[in-house]
Amino acid sequence: MKSLRRPYSEQRTTDLGGGVWSVPVPIPANPLGYTLVYAIESPSGPVLVDAGWNHPDAWLALRDGLASAGMDIREVRGVVVTHFHPDHAGLAGQVRQESGAWIAMHEADAALIRNMHDLEEGVQRDLRAGMLRRAGAGAVEVEEVTAHRQRPPALPDRTLHDGDLIDLPGRKLRTVWTPGHTPGHVCLHLEDADRLFTGDHVLPSITPHIGIYPYDRTDTDPLGDFLASLEKVAELGMLEALPAHEWIFQDTAARARVIGTHHEEKLTQLAALLAEAGEPLTIWEIAARMTWNRPWEDLPSMLRGMAAGEAAAHLRTLEARGAIRRSEGSEPVRFAVHS
C-alpha cells in the first residue's frame, strides 16, 4: 500500500463534513507522530473521540485545533476513549477538568485503569520483573524494561458495553466492542452517516500491537479476540474508517480482512519456527527469532518487551488451537510443537 502518511507539521484541523472534525494532536518523541482526535458536533457541545497524549504541546494542539473549528474546549460535552493507552486517554482528565465533560470507556479497560491506580509503583515493578523472568529475559533486560513506567490516565465517569449508544444528542453513535489491542478497545459506529471511528483496531497501513500481559497467562487469548473483532467489524460492511492514526480511508471491511490474513500468516510462520527449533524455547528466545521491523539486536529494551508480548499472544493463540504446548511447571516457561 502506498504511504499517505504526512508528518505532524503538515497536519491541520479538518472539516470532514456531517458535523465531524479531525484534530491532529502530537505524540512527542514517538514514530506515530500524532493521534487523530475527532470532534462530533451536537447542540449540547461537542463529543470527542479520544483526547491525545498528556503533554503541554498536545494540550495546546487540542485546544487550538478545536478553536479553529469554532469549538471551545470548555464546552466539550464528553470524551469517548477508544482504549486506555496514553496517546488516546492521556488528556481526557484535563478536558474534564476544563469543561466538566464526562469520560466514557469500556468496562474492561476501566477495570485496568482502576488496577493501575490501586497498585503501588513498587508492586507494579515487581510484577513486571517476574513476568520478564518467566519469559526468559536476562537480568539486564529485566532492569531496563521495568525502569519505564507511565502515569495511568484518569478514571472514567461512565463505563460502556457492546451496543451502547453514546450520549450524543441528535446523532446515533453506537459502541462496538473490539477487544484485542486492549481488553476494552471499542470502535464507534456513527450509524446516521455510515462511518466507523476505528481507534487502533483497524489502521490503513500498519497493524496494532497485540500483546498478552503477563506473557504466560492462560486465561485469555488477545489475538483470538482480535481476529474475532476484525470479523465483527467486517460484517458491518463498507464503512468509511476514521482511525486514530495515519489517515481516513474507505472500506473498513476490506482492510480488516487484510489484517486478519496478516496475522494468520504470522501464526503459520511461528508454528514453523517452533517445528524447526526441535526443542522447547522460551518466549524471549522465540521473540528473538521472529521477524520485526528491525533486527532484534537493534531493538531498544522497551520494544523488546513489546515484541515479547506480541510473540506471547501469538503463542497463546496457537496453544488455544491445539497446535503447540507449553512446558508444565518450568520457569522460564517454554513452548514446543506437539510431538
Residue-wise pLDDT for 114-168, tens only, equals: 998 888 778 888 898 999 999 999 898 888 888 777 788 999 999 999 999 999 9
* Pairing label, strands 78-80, 102-106: parallel
Largest CA distance in the chain: 65
Reference 285, options 237, 327, 228; nearest CA is 327
Reference 271, options 322, 230, 237, 306; nearest CA is 322
Domains of the chain by residue range? 8-265
Arithmetic mean of pLDDT, 284-307:
94
**CA distances for 32 relative to 230, 236, 311, 322, angstroms:** 22, 27, 21, 36
> How much is the mean pLDDT over the chain?
94
- Residue count of the chain, please give it: 339
Q: Is residue 257 classed as helix, strand or coil in its secondary structure?
A: helix
What is the signed CA dihedral for 291, 230, 5, 244, rounded to 10 degrees?
Answer: -120
**What's 249's DSSP letter?**
B
pLDDT value for 10: 82
* Pairing label, strands 78-80, 47-49: parallel
Reference 156, options 148, 145, 167, 147; nearest CA is 167
DSSP β-bridge partners for residue 173: 190
Separation between Cα atoms, residue 104 and residue 124, nearest integer Å: 25
> pTM for this one?
0.94
List phi, psi (to 5°) of 176: -120, 105
Helix, strand, coil in percent for the chain, rounding step 5: 40, 20, 40
| Whether pLDDT at 248 is above 90 | yes
Q: Which CATH topology does 8-265 take?
A: Metallo-beta-lactamase; Chain A (3.60.15)
Separation between Cα atoms, residue 121 and residue 185, nearest integer Å: 25
Q: How confident is the model at residue 3 (pLDDT cuts 50, 70, 90)?
A: very low
Separation between Cα atoms, residue 100 and residue 78, nearest integer Å: 8
Whether the Cβ atoms of residue 236 and residue 196 lie closer than 8 Å to each other:
yes
Residue 93 has which C-alpha cell? 482528565
Reference 265, options 308, 216, 317, 306; nearest CA is 317
For 307-316, how does the pLDDT look when each residue is reduced to its tens digit (9 = 90+)?
999 999 999 9
| Whether pLDDT at 45 is above 60 | yes
pLDDT value for 153: 94
Residue 270 has which C-alpha cell? 511461528
